[in-house]
């Protein structure tokens, strides 16, 4: 059984800013798993991409592709207490 002390973080993990908007790119894995890609915005909203990646670089490349195609705004959720209507 693993715990958080077994988590391996990628050196590609970083804060990424485009047009004044910043997200935290989290890329991590456990010893016997593939890499997970998670994006955390300034409001602590989190997006975890489906599936595992065979390398941290492939995970980061997907993040960059998504930012290029959809914009960084697509990875930023609502502000706490904001109405969704």
Q: pLDDT of 10-54, one tens digit each?
A: 999 999 999 999 999 999 999 999 999 999 999 999 999 999 999
Q: pLDDT of 51-66, one tens digit each?
A: 999 999 999 999 999 9
Whole-model pTM: value is 0.88
Let me know: does 35 contact 56? Beta carbons within 8 Å.
yes
Q: Taking the CA of residue 28 as centre, how many other CA atoms within 13 Å lie in the half-sphere pointing to its CB?
A: 14
Across the strands, what pairs with 9? 28
């Amino acid at each position: 059984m693993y715990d958080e002390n077994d988590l391996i973080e990628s050196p590609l993990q970083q804060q990424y800013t485009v047009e004044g908007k910043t997200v935290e790119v989290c890329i991590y894995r456990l010893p016997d798993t593939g890499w997970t890609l998670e994006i955390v915005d300034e409001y602590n909203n989190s997006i975890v991409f489906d599936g595992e990646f065979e390398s941290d670089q492939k995970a980061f490349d997907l993040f960059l592709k998504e930012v290029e195609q959809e914009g960084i705004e697509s990875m930023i959720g609502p502000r706490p207490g904001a109405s969704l209507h």
